[in-house]
Amino acid sequence: AAGVIQSPRHLIKEKRETATLKCYPIPRHDTVYWYQQGPGQDPQFLISFYEKMQSDKGSIPDRFSAQQFSDYHSELNMSSLELGDSALYFCASSPTVGAGTGETQYFGPGTRLLVL
Amino acid sequence: KNQVEQSPQSLIILEGKNCTLQCNYTVSPFSNLRWYKQDTGRGPVSLTIMTFSENTKSNGRYTATLDADTKQSSLHITASQLSDSASYICVVSLTGGGNKLTFGTGTQLKVEL
C-alpha cells in the first residue's frame, strides 16, 4: 500500500540558509500534518492543512511557513536556519479531519535536517 | 509539565516475555488515545486507537486498555520479539482539536535474547 512520501530524506544546510521539505500524502488523504522531533525529544506539532487551507497551528517558528497544494502535497519552507532547527521533520496524512474525528495519522519516514 | 506522561522511561525484557507500558494523561477535553511504535529514525506507526468510550483494543500481540475516569492507559505486549525493540509512544487527541496530537514522553523498549 502507498505510504506518505517525504523528500529529501536527508538535508544538510548551513546557518542562515533556507530549506524546503516536501510531503506527498497517501492518495485520497486530504489532511497533512507537520511535526518536528529534536534529538531525544517527542514530536512537536508544527502545523496542519486540510483541503489546502491551514487547519491548525502549533509551535511553528515565524521563520517557517508551509502550504498545501492542489494535488494535496505540502511543503515546509524554513528560512534563516539556526543550529536548533536540526531535527527530524515528520509529515503525516489522514483522511478528512472533521472535528476531533480521530482519524489515524499515517507518518512518513521523515526528513533529517542538519544545520551546521 | 508534559500533558502525557509514560512509564517506565526504558525497559529491557527477554524475548518471549510479556510487558506492560503505562500512560497517564491530563489532556482535556479528551477525544481519543493512540499508541504508536517508533523505530529509531523512522516515522511513528499506529498500533491502536481508542475513543473515550472504549476500554480495550487489540492489534495482534498488542493490547491497549483505557480508563477514561483515571485518565490512564496501558499497552500490553505479549510474547515479545526482537523486532518489538522500539520506542512506544502514547498520543492523545483533543476533542475539536482538528486531530492535533499531543505526544507522550515515550517508553524505550529493548527485547534481548
Torsion angles phi and psi, residue B83, rounded to 5: -70, -5
CB contact under 8 Å between A108 and B44, yes or no, is: no
Which residue has cell 519552507? A77
Instruction: Test A48 with B46 for CB contact under 8 angstroms.
Output: no
Longest dimension (CA), chain A: 40
CA distance A95 to chain B (A): 11
Other Cβ atoms closer than 10 A to A28 = 10
Amino acid identity at B40: T
E strand or H helix at B19, and its extent?
strand B19-25
Q: What is the pLDDT of residue B102?
A: 84
- Residue B96 confidence (pLDDT): 60
Confidence (pLDDT) at A51? 87
pLDDT score, position A100: 43
User: Residue B1 above 70 pLDDT?
Assistant: no
Contact residues, chain A, for B102 at CB < 8 Å: 45
pLDDT digits (tens, 9 = 90+) for A58-95: 889 999 999 999 999 999 999 999 999 999 999 999 88
CA atoms within 13 A on the CB side of B78: 7
If one counts every other C-beta atom within 10 angstroms of the C-beta of residue A109, the result is 17
Question: How many other C-beta atoms can be found within 10 angstroms of the C-beta atom of residue A108?
Answer: 25
pLDDT at B3 over 90: no
Contact A31 B41 (CB under 8 A): no
Contact B99 A109 (CB under 8 A): no
Could you tell me where the DSSP H helices lie in A14-63?
Answer: none
Nearest to B95 among A42, A100, A109 (CB): A100
The cell for B44 is 511513528
The residue ranking higher by pLDDT, B40 or A24, is A24
| A37-52 b/e (C-beta count within 10 Å ≥ 16 → b) | beeeebbbbbbbbbee
The residue ranking higher by pLDDT, A58 or A23, is A23
Mean pLDDT of B20-43: 86
What pLDDT, in 10s, does the model give residues B56-111? 999 999 999 999 889 999 999 999 999 999 999 999 887 665 567 788 889 999 99
pLDDT at A99 over 60: no
